[in-house]
A and B are shown apart, each in its own frame.
Chain A
Amino acid sequence: MRKLARDLDFINKIQEISQQNIRDCYQCGRCTAGCPFAEFMDEPPNRIIRYIQLGLKDDVLKAQGPWFCAACLVCETRCPRGVDIPRIMEAVRTIHLRAKEQVIDIDRIDKELLKDAHPLVLMSALNKYSY
């Protein structure tokens, strides 16, 4: 059995950025059930939250799930505990971006898409994916 290394600083950092109490979540899974992009995520929203509750920093930071969150807020609307899950997903992305790890490279965006890309969509993507 794997020994859990509980990183309390990491839990606090996520709570500070998101202003959410991570222990409010009781793992009912409604966020993941309603998430339109959960099927594309290696780790869906409820598991990301569980890892944070356990302080499993490495598991959270290697997950690709948060990058598939479109901040559509369906999970926030349906959470019976009032947890603002998109703020927690953004906190995970923010930790990456503040460490200068970005997932978008404007030179690698599909040229055809970029030529006609909607400025609002492009700006939003750069907001969420780059530092």
Chain B
Amino acid sequence: MKVSYYPGCDLYTKAKVLNDSIKASFKVADFDLKELTNWYCCGTTFTLARDNKMSLIAPLRILAKAQKENGLLLVPCSICYNTLKRANYIFRNDQETLGIINEHLGENYDGNVEIVHPFEFIRENQDKFKSGIKRSLGEMKLGCYYGCYLLRPKDEIGFDDPEAPTIMEDFIKLMGGIPVNFPLKVECCGSYLIINSLEAALQMVYKILKNARENGAEALITSCPVCHYNLDNFQDKIVKMHPEHKPIPIFYFSQIMAIAYDLPTEVWGLGYNKVSPETLLKEHRIL
């Protein structure tokens, strides 16, 4: 079955491993991800100023293209997902704004495209995703890090309980792994503060990683390229600040799918992980 797919800019650059592993893993479950033709950047972080309509132009162009496909758009990047879903919420509930942007772009978008995240898609098609599993994840304990963009605002995203979500834990269980719950799984990684307020962002990253370790996680999974960057990229700095910190690998959820489906190791893309997961995978006899 073909599914319309919006990778977003990042999945061609820093998060290429997410793109490669999700496409290959969905293929195993018999879903062919068909990239939206000539897609644009979604505009990154959603603009919160309500009188700024410029930021709705890119999302409408993307949604209008998706409308011409089959009305469902799979978006794996948490930021793109959040931005497109929030823009879509405005298009559905504010006819005046929808009219202004449609007229400006010469489009005829009706607000009916469904933005779907892979976790939601997998939840709806559990049997198909389960049938492809070939390899055990052993006793590896995986912390599920949600971050902000998948959960909030709850009325517009409606993804899961914003304070105590379980969809990622259910995903890990489906893949045959052991999920680890930890309280800071819904806290912010610092996002763009890393550029301008490195100290504040790194303190948050340290708190999250420490909390995950204390609750037994040996690695974390995420679907957000920004969370992945902040959590994975600065652990050498964190070790300098907190020498007791033991680096913890950060996987994209789709890397775990590629492992469970026993896809070629190139698809696992372990070279992309700055904190190498190789020792951990060897400990659990996965590598």
Q: Which residues of A contact B (CB under 8 A)?
A: 16-19, 36-37, 40, 67-68, 70-74, 76-77, 84, 86-87, 89-91, 94, 103-104, 109-110, 113, 116-125, 127-129
Let me know if B153 and A76 touch, CB within 8 A.
yes
Let me know if A74 and B233 touch, CB within 8 A.
no
Let me know if A121 and B50 touch, CB within 8 A.
no
24 residue pairs of the A-B complex, CB under 8 angstroms, read A18-B49, A40-B197, A40-B200, A67-B197, A70-B148, A70-B201, A72-B188, A72-B191, A77-B152, A77-B153, A84-B153, A89-B48, A90-B47, A94-B49, A110-B198, A116-B233, A118-B10, A118-B229, A120-B226, A121-B194, A121-B195, A121-B226, A125-B192, A127-B44
Is B222 engaged at the interface, CB distance under 8 Å to the other chain?
no
Cβ-defined partner of B188 (8 Å) among A74, A84, A104, A117: A74
Q: Report the interface size class on chain B.
A: 35 or more
Given contacts A40-B200, A74-B186, 9 further A-B contacts (CB under 8 A): A18-B50, A19-B50, A40-B199, A67-B197, A72-B188, A73-B153, A77-B151, A87-B50, A117-B195
Q: Which single residue of chain B is at the shortest CB-CB distance from A117?
A: B195
B225 → A minimal CB distance (Å): 6
Complex alpha-carbon distance, A48 and B17, angstroms: 41
Q: Which residues of B contact A89 (CB under 8 A)?
A: 48
- Known contacts: A120-B10, A124-B44. The answer to whether A16 contacts B191 by CB under 8 A is no
Q: Which single residue of chain B is at the shortest CB-CB distance from A64?
A: B197
The SS class assigned to the A binding surface is helix
Q: Mark B23-61, 1 if CB is under 8 A from A, else 0.
A: 000000000000000000001111111111000000000
Let me know if A68 and B45 touch, CB within 8 A.
no
Is B262 engaged at the interface, CB distance under 8 Å to the other chain?
no
Let me know if B152 and A73 touch, CB within 8 A.
yes
Cβ-defined partner of B229 (8 Å) among A87, A90, A109, A121: A121
Let me know if B49 and A123 touch, CB within 8 A.
no
Cβ-defined partner of A91 (8 Å) among B43, B49, B198: B49
- Known contacts: A37-B200, A70-B188, A71-B191. The answer to whether A120 contacts B49 by CB under 8 A is no
Q: Which residues of B contact A121 (CB under 8 A)?
A: 191-192, 194-195, 226, 229-230
B83 → A minimal CB distance (Å): 10
Residues of B51-73 contacting chain A, CB below 8 A: 51-52
Q: Which residues of B contact A127 (CB under 8 A)?
A: 43-45, 47, 192
Q: Which residues of B contact A40 (CB under 8 A)?
A: 197, 199-200
Q: Which single residue of chain A is at the shortest CB-CB distance from B224?
A: A120
Q: Which residues of B contact A116 (CB under 8 A)?
A: 233
- Known contacts: A71-B45, A73-B148, A74-B152. The answer to whether A120 contacts B195 by CB under 8 A is no
Let me know if A124 and B192 touch, CB within 8 A.
yes
Q: Which residues of A contact B190 (CB under 8 A)?
A: 70
Q: Which residues of B contact A123 (CB under 8 A)?
A: 44-45
Is B14 engaged at the interface, CB distance under 8 Å to the other chain?
yes
Let me know if A125 and B188 touch, CB within 8 A.
no
A84 → B minimal CB distance (Å): 7
Is B204 engaged at the interface, CB distance under 8 Å to the other chain?
yes
Q: Which residues of B contact A67 (CB under 8 A)?
A: 196-197
Complex alpha-carbon distance, A16 and B50, angstroms: 8
Let me know if A70 and B191 touch, CB within 8 A.
yes
Complex alpha-carbon distance, A94 and B49, angstroms: 7
Residue picked from A72, A94, A121, most chain B C-beta under 10 Å: A121
Q: Which single residue of chain A is at the shortest CB-CB distance from B162?
A: A77
A95 → B minimal CB distance (Å): 10
Complex alpha-carbon distance, A110 and B193, angstroms: 13
Let me know if A120 and B225 touch, CB within 8 A.
yes
Complex alpha-carbon distance, A104 and B198, angstroms: 13
Complex alpha-carbon distance, A46 and B187, angstroms: 19
Q: Which residues of A contact B226 (CB under 8 A)?
A: 118, 120-121, 124
